[in-house]
Amino acid sequence: MRFVDEATIKVQAGNGGRGCASFRREKFIPFGGPDGGDGGKGADIYLVGKAGINTLADFRYNRAFRAPHGTAGSGNDCTGASGTDLVVEVPIGTVVIDVDTEEQLGDITEAGQRLLVGKGGKGGWGNTRFKTSTNRTPRKAMPGLPGEKRDLRLELKVMADIGLLGLPNAGKSTLIRAVSAAKPKVADYPFTTLHPNLGVVRVGVHRSFVMADIPGLIEGAAEGAGLGIQFLKHLQRTRVLLHLIDVSPPDPDADPVKNARAIIAELKKFSAELAEKERWLVLNKVDLLPADQADKVCKDIVRRLRWKGPVYRISGLAHQGTQELCESIMKRLEEIDAPSEAEVG
């Protein structure tokens, strides 16, 4: 199924049923009085997180969702039946935004999480409600209230612990293939990766994390160059970013440091919060250079970038240094998840 991370849908909650204007008619009771029941409540619409769904592709064809209306009330003080709530399943990680107001209605981050996006209308009152000491035969009943109607924009942000960032052909897909069971397409031309890929990296017994690979960025992505920055939102939920740099680019005139700075600049244009996220430097494809030259090139990149954070030298293709990298990532994630001393106390 094709990966789709944005969709627009229309939701229409059910209308309330009309109230009934009725009078009690029984033998030997000539003046039974009003007995019209209220209308039933219109059905609500809920979005519910569903495990196993990883795309919004279904919403490209099914865009309108209408919940059933409540039924009208009837005599003998019978209230109309309420509509059955409509439940729409969406992928975990879906953000729901009202198109008209740009208000974020909710963020579905867990399986089974329910989000009310359309409230059904209340049922109208029957004439029994209008009975008073001075008005014993009310002939008035109310129509049901209309249900909420909204246009919603659904945005899918993948749920991952680690996000891979870098130029096209920096080796992101090769790395995720090397450390997980994910099998994204790998080739020697730019933009081989056209949509995000997720892989579960297992480090030991009951120790694993999820890694996300997104299409590569190039300079000018914020202005639409390449595939643009439309996929950067998938890194917003990650806890650590791995910035992959090709230490031996195929273009001899390419400068890895200049390219790295361009990626960081595009990151800042997209989101200051994302740019401040913890980021590690991963120098990839070191196996393509002699050991002494690779050491020199790596040290030069770190020096020119004035990098103070963690640095790892790997080769995704040769599986060189990947195990050490994964162990360090797992340890860091466990530190992040560990309760603080204040929480323990």
**Ligand-binding site membership of 252 (annotated):** no
Check whether 336 is labelled as a binding-site residue.
no
Strands of the sheet containing 114-118, edge to edge, are: 86-91, 45-50, 114-118
Rounded to an integer, what distance in angstroms lies between the CA atom of residue 286 and that of residue 313? 7
Question: Is 204 annotated as a binding-site member?
Answer: no
Tell me: is residue 191 an annotated ligand-binding position: yes
SS3 assignment, position 72: coil
Q: Does 183 carry a binding-site annotation?
A: no
193 labelled as ligand-binding? yes
Residue 171 marked ligand-binding:
yes
285 is in an annotated binding site: yes
DSSP 328: H
- Whether residue 166 is annotated as binding a ligand: the answer is yes
Whether residue 173 is annotated as binding a ligand: the answer is yes
Question: Rounded to an integer, what distance in angstroms lies between the CA atom of residue 117 and that of residue 105?
Answer: 7
Residue 338 assigned as binding residue: no
167 marked ligand binding residue: yes
What's the rounded Cα separation, in Å, for the pair 307 and 170? 19
Torsion of CA 36, 37, 38, 41, to 10 degrees: -150
Tell whether 216 is in a known binding site. Answer: yes
Q: Is 245 annotated as a binding residue?
A: no
For residue 22, what are its two tokens? Answer: 């009725």
Does 296 show up as a binding residue in the annotation?
no
User: Would the annotation count 248 as a binding residue?
Assistant: no
Is 172 annotated as contributing to ligand binding?
Answer: yes
Answer yes or no: is 10 a known binding residue.
no
Considering all CA atoms of the chain, what is the largest pairwise distance in Å, rounded to the nearest integer?
Answer: 109
Asked if residues 170 and 21 have their Cβ atoms less than 8 Å apart, the reply is no
**Can you tell me the distance from the alpha carbon of 287 to that of 35, in angstroms, rounded to the nearest whole number?**
86
**195 labelled binding-site residue:** yes
Q: Is 317 annotated as a binding residue?
A: yes
Binding residues: 166-173, 191-195, 213-216, 284-287, 315-317
Binding residues for GTP: 166-173, 191-195, 213-216, 284-287, 315-317
Binding residues for Mg(2+): 173, 193
